[in-house]
Structure 1
């Protein structure tokens, strides 16, 4: 028999299948990937370094949608970080079930580490002390990933009950315009960037 025109298995197909499983159920297993691709489980291990290797493929796949250009654009640091944050949020909002998986595994993917390197360089060049750089980046990620999860939540997140009178909450909810998630993200991001201004040495 002739060889198939396309390989039955490669890292791209593994990443695609793993991400499909995560989007569907919040996690994956190597046997599940193998079954979906119609191969033996051992065949998957010929292409990746176990489960951790697949997690890093997932990280690279999701992070590929993050635009790193703002970090080297020459924009003021606050505008650059805000633009990067919005792109970061959009990338993870497309795959919210991947967030718990990716945030509980160490970052090893070279392309992702390269983006962090750019962010560190931007902050150092903008007058941040070395000791403040990672807290700023991690704090920004907390805002971004929390908002990405919020984007996957139901629009009607609070269900009021007659058993527990909450008239003030009812009024507050009624006053919120559509797009509460974006409004909350803008508020949190602005407040975060404003505080970061106080950390700069220059």
Structure 2
């Protein structure tokens, strides 16, 4: 038998195409996906639950790149920091999809399962139930904002040679090319430090000197 003129559709190919479109233009539409795959729009709808379903497929695809094994590390703050770094790397690969995902409720079972594990990590460490989601939401805000920062130009402040802001110029020169990473490290340590105060956990250096 000869090969079909129209490639076979499946959810994986639809997801890949949607991500390609978003990476290129910051948005997608079902007709655009269909055209790129050489099929009819109605055929795409046979495989997905509309536009919202495609958004969730993209969320699931990106979250597959997050190393959930980091949540098994000990102690809890090391696990949370490692998870945040993996989370950031996964979304930094597709920063233009972030606005689509942050305006859509999380429904993908595999993604919810990872959040369940993160909640379990904090509850197991002794956090009050009421503190868990503020900590995780704050972490998510930090991670996604930093992923967007990684996609920004390295130099976000363009100063003329005769700049009237010499102190800003000195600070920019001092931070060098690692500004986004350095900012993420500062913010992550600040968030985890605050979480330690909620729990009453000493910082790592204090643990090393504990009797």
Q: State how 1:95-114 maps to structure 2 within 5 Å.
A: 95-114=94-113
> 1:201–1:27: structure 2 CA closer, same or farther, 3 Å change rule?
same
In structure 1, the residue corresponding to 2:95 is in which secondary structure? coil
| 1:68 alignment partner in structure 2 | 68
**Large movers: runs of 4+ above 6 Å:** none
**Deviation of the 1:2 alpha carbon:** 5.3
TM-score, length-scaled by structure 1? 0.94
Contact 2:6 2:39 in 1 (8 A): no
RMSD between aligned residues: 1.9
Q: Distance in 2 between matches of 1:133 and 1:192?
A: 13
Q: Distance in 1 between matches of 2:9 and 2:79?
A: 39
What do residues 146-175 of structure 1 show as CA deviations (whole Å, max 9, x unaligned)?
111110011111011478721211111121
> 1:163–1:177: structure 2 CA closer, same or farther, 3 Å change rule?
closer
| 2:46 alignment partner in structure 1 | 46
The structure in which a higher percent of residues are helix is: 2
Q: State how 1:20-35 maps to structure 2 within 5 Å.
A: 20-35=20-35
| 2:120 alignment partner in structure 1 | 121
**Deviation of the 1:180 alpha carbon:** 1.1
Unaligned runs of 5+ in 1: none
TM-score, length-scaled by structure 2? 0.90
**Deviation of the 1:193 alpha carbon:** 0.4
Q: Distance in 1 between matches of 2:52 and 2:174?
A: 45
**Deviation of the 1:71 alpha carbon:** 1.2
**Deviation of the 1:72 alpha carbon:** 2.4
| 1:180 alignment partner in structure 2 | 179
Q: Distance in 2 between matches of 1:141 and 1:198?
A: 19
| 2:89 alignment partner in structure 1 | 90
Contact 2:7 2:38 in 1 (8 A): no
Contact 1:72 1:118 in 2 (8 A): no
Q: State how 1:144-183 maps to structure 2 within 5 Å.
A: 144-161=143-160, 165-183=164-182
Q: Distance in 2 between matches of 1:51 and 1:158?
A: 37
Count of residues in correspondence between the two structures: 201
| 1:136 alignment partner in structure 2 | 135
Q: Distance in 2 between matches of 1:129 and 1:26?
A: 39
Q: Distance in 1 between matches of 2:178 and 2:3?
A: 52
Unaligned runs of 5+ in 2: 202-211
In structure 2, the residue corresponding to 1:159 is in which secondary structure? coil
Q: Distance in 1 between matches of 2:72 and 2:173?
A: 42
